[in-house]
Chains A and B, each alone.
Chain A
């Protein structure tokens, strides 16, 4: 895997490669299953989880509805605290602003922490192009950078690597970036961590410029927050003279009190911890303490277009916890690279096509990278209905329709490569609307059942029959049986003879504990089920 997202194939092709990589699948399976079960335990400790989830969704929705107000409030507060705010409409814009800011310091090396948004804009490449070297300091990001690789997970970017692979990367690559790995480095986690610590410490103590992301931005005070586990972020955020933060505009929340909700839901959802080890909060600049210069670059890059979509906009609630990745059976088999962008897994499958648009083959394939099993929605701490947005985006791809690109309302056409599928869907819909035609087709299928080839031609059937047998068509449809059955049951003599399938139950076995006797079914009031059952149906309630 080279260190670029450009030119990646569409999801099914990338997924084919990934599913054949046994080591990758074993690494992913182990990691996702471990964190998944730990998370379930951490969530179960809180009795008010559903309320926290609803509160998080409500805070985000409120902020998004009044985004213009809160962003201006944020800008005012950051400026008043001694910071400078920059507005970037797209990735190039953001990279240009940040490159110019680093150039202005006169330094050519920067340390970086906690910023998926810089992955989204491709900042490291832009900096390298301008003669500036960026050092990733988050341990997993370091592994990815040293391995000339790409992050595969939102929270655990090196999830796809096991410790032996990491040892090999450290031994081979560290020397090209700074302090070499110790001789005879083992794959013991403690030794690996020590090697990274020694390597990174040199960077922290010499760097004059740092670039970070932000988990939250508090509009009322202009305070930014980064949550992390290693303390490397704390180093980046406090040691250098200049701090530049790049954050998507959706990261703003109104007040300090709102932060309370996310400080509970984010760590539990992501690392399964009650509280993350390091929470760093900073407000502008403070004399004799921390960075002397602070810049905040606010990035749009498709976010206001996403906000214009009434169904898809809830994707902007995302707090990047990665719980949806860890439960996703598709992600578990493919890893993050198959998604071709910094945002993998279920959230990536809905966020990327909204930020980018659905016109490239990769973007158009992402909404189909899901079985709609719903596990992602169940775990989402801000209740993003990912399956619903997936079907909504599929509709945009197959049927076209109104959307917003670069602030302009536009109507997109159905994707060309779905033309055949569209014809099939229209034909099947017509048949399903005309039962007589359907029944004739069914009859034909059952009459010719002996003639059906085991592996019929066509790419769709091939996709099925490569690993599976097609079901064999039985000699009669249910309808045909039903007609016979009805004739039998409507003849009075048949009733007295008690045809096997119509006789009322007389269980022949031990009936002591048998609840079943032929009984008059209870008919609950209003045709609804008993109230007591409602709790069990709460799976999709928010």
Chain B
């Protein structure tokens, strides 16, 4: 089984720890992971902001880079939803406008869509595991990001994985299914509403008394962590993959840019 890590552009530069965690975790589970160096970005930011034409070359590139792998795994429900939901849609629209030769976008979408999995889907559905042998002795509350929740229908897979982590106490997040307010460029186009939504999410997370606010999309976490660090709140935003990669021998370490889990 050849598995490619699709790391997503935000993770590569800003959250390399998440990528390392995915590799560590999958290799621990006996999966041979490759990281195709030609990958860049799925084009979601362009597409969602209204630049569909600008996103099309990225669709083709994405399909080329990940061709030939049995599975493509990404620690981001949002980017996986872009590939699975919007690539075919983009191909259809380009064809309707007479701009797709039939070998272009439609083929790219057809190649990229079937084997692309969000991390928790891959673990639960493909590898068939919910206990990945992790150890994380902290109280955690989980925010299911919108695209994973609604577009991919991840259901309780992330929570099942978290519940099997030793030492971890999972606390229910009030209003868990509400958006955190990131929304890609929404966060800068409508900063006041975005901040108001983010604040409510953080207040809800704090009300649980949890030490860690866990999510499976680093872009949502970037928005929330940006507010948390500004407010010096005793809460840390941590990607699910980093919790699952953590063991007693090699425990989770906060990045050098952040403080300890309090």
Quick one: which of B40, B93, B129, B194 contacts A516, CB cutoff 8 A? B129
Across-interface contacts of B109 in A (CB, < 8 A): none
Q: Which residue of A lies closest to B114 (CB)?
A: A527
User: Residues of B contacting A421 with CB < 8 Å?
Assistant: 49
A422 contacts which chain B residues (CB < 8 A)? 51
Output the least CB separation between B28 and chain A (Å).
4
Chain A residues with Cβ below 8 Å from B35 are: 478-479, 482
Flag A360-396 by CB within 8 Å of B: 1 or 0 each: 0000000111111111011000000000100101111
- Tell yes or no: A473 within 8 A of B by CB: yes
B30 touches A521 (CB 8 A): yes
- A522 close to B51 (CB less than 8 A): no
In the bound complex, residues from chain B placing their C-beta under 8 Å from that of A433 are: 40, 57-58, 61
> How many A residues, CB 8 Å from partner?
102
Asked if B135 contacts A509 (CB within 8 A), the reply is yes
Complex contacts, A466 vs chain B, CB 8 Å:
191, 195
**Interface membership of A399, Cβ < 8 A:** yes
Known: A333-B193, A478-B11, A501-B27. A373 touches B71 (CB 8 A): no
CA distance A513 to B163 in the complex (A): 12
Number of interface residues of B (CB under 8 A): 109
- CB contacts (< 8 Å) of A509 on chain B: these are 133, 135, 166, 248
The yes or no answer to A416 lying at the interface (CB within 8 A) is: no
Which of B35, B125, B248 has the most chain A CB within a 10 Å cutoff? B125
Contact B192 A19, beta carbon cutoff 8 Å: yes
Min CB–CB distance B126 → chain A (angstroms):
6
Do A394 and B150 have beta carbons less than 8 Å apart?
no
> Which residue in B96, B132, B150, B227 is a CB contact (below 8 Å) of A374?
B150
Verify if A329 is at the interface (C-beta below 8 Å from B): yes
B197/A474 in contact, CB under 8 A: no
Give the docked Cα–Cα distance between A80 and B30 (Å).
76
Q: Considering the complex, which residues of chain B in the window 44-87 have a beta carbon less than 8 Å from any beta carbon of chain A? A: 45-55, 57-58, 61, 70-71, 85
Residues of B whose CB lies within 8 Å of any CB of A are 1, 7, 9, 11-17, 19-20, 23-24, 27-31, 35, 37-41, 43, 45-55, 57-58, 61, 70-71, 85, 89, 93, 96, 114-115, 117, 121, 124-133, 135, 146-147, 149-155, 157, 164, 166, 177-179, 181-199, 222-223, 225-227, 229-230, 247-250, 255-257
A362 CB to closest chain B CB (Å) equals: 14
Are B27's CB and A467's CB within 8 A? no
Q: Using Cβ atoms and an 8 Å threshold, which residues of chain B touch A505?
A: 28-30, 132-133
A-B contact pairs, 10 of them (CB 8 A): A12-B189, A371-B186, A375-B178, A394-B50, A398-B50, A433-B61, A471-B225, A516-B133, A521-B1, A537-B152
CB distance from A384 to the nearest CB of B (A): 15
Q: How far is the CB of B50 from chain A (nearest CB, A)?
A: 3
* Cross-chain contact B227 with A468 (CB below 8 angstroms): yes
Query: Known contacts A501-B23, A527-B114; is A426 also within 8 Å of B54 by CB?
Result: yes
Q: Find the residue from A310, A393, A432 having the highest chain B CB count within 10 A.
A: A432
Q: In the complex, what distance in Å separates the CA atom of A474 from the CA atom of B254?
A: 12
A501 and B250 contacting across the interface, CB-CB below 8 Å: yes
**Residue in B17, B49, B152 whose CB lies within 8 Å of A425:** B49
A-B contact count (CB 8 A): 297
- Contact residue among A377, A394, A529 (Cβ-Cβ distance under 8 Å from B49): A394
Q: B residues within 8 A CB of A474?
A: 14-17, 255-257
Query: Which one of B37, B153, B257 lies within 8 Å of A538 (CB-CB)?
Result: B153
User: B11 — which chain A residues lie within 8 A by C-beta?
Assistant: 478
Instruction: Given A19-B193, A371-B182, A478-B16, verify A395-B152 contact (CB < 8 Å).
Output: no
Q: Are B197 and A529 in contact (CB under 8 A)?
A: no
B50 engages A432 (CB within 8 Å): no
A408 CB–B CB distance under 8 Å: no
Task: List the A residue with the shortest CB-CB distance to B130.
Answer: A515
Measured in the bound complex, the distance between the Cα atoms of B178 and A421 in whole Å is: 29
Q: Is A333 within 8 A of B197, CB to CB?
A: yes
CB distance from B13 to the nearest CB of A (A): 5
Least CB distance, A316 to chain B, in whole angstroms? 20
Which residues does chain B contribute within 8 Å of A502, judged by CB atoms?
Answer: 24, 27
Q: Does A438 contact B (CB under 8 A)?
A: yes
10 tightest A-B CB contacts, nearest first: A371-B183, A394-B50, A468-B226, A507-B133, A529-B125, A373-B179, A539-B153, A537-B153, A373-B146, A478-B16
A47: Cβ under 8 A from any B Cβ: no
Which listed residue (A310, A478, A514, A538) contacts B12, Cβ 8 A?
A478
Closest partner residue, chain B, to A533 (CB atom): B125
Contacts of B130 in A (CB 8 A): 515
Cβ of A514 and Cβ of B49 under 8 Å apart? no
* Contact A374–B164 (Cβ < 8 Å): no
Given A371-B184, A425-B49, A471-B14, 17 additional A-B pairs, CB 8 A = A330-B197, A333-B196, A373-B183, A378-B150, A388-B89, A418-B50, A429-B58, A467-B227, A468-B198, A469-B229, A469-B230, A508-B248, A515-B130, A519-B127, A521-B1, A529-B125, A540-B153
Query: Which residues of A from 413 to 470 have beta carbons under 8 Å from B?
Result: 418, 421-422, 425-426, 428-429, 431-433, 435, 438, 442, 445-446, 460, 463-464, 466-470
Question: How far is the CB of A473 from the nearest CB of chain B, in Å?
Answer: 7
The complex places the Cα of A467 from the Cα of B57 at a distance, in Å, of: 34
B54 close to A15 (CB less than 8 A): no
**Given contact pairs A371-B183, A399-B51, A518-B29, A464 touches B191 in the complex (Cβ within 8 A):** yes
Interchain CA distance A25-B190 in the complex, whole Å: 16
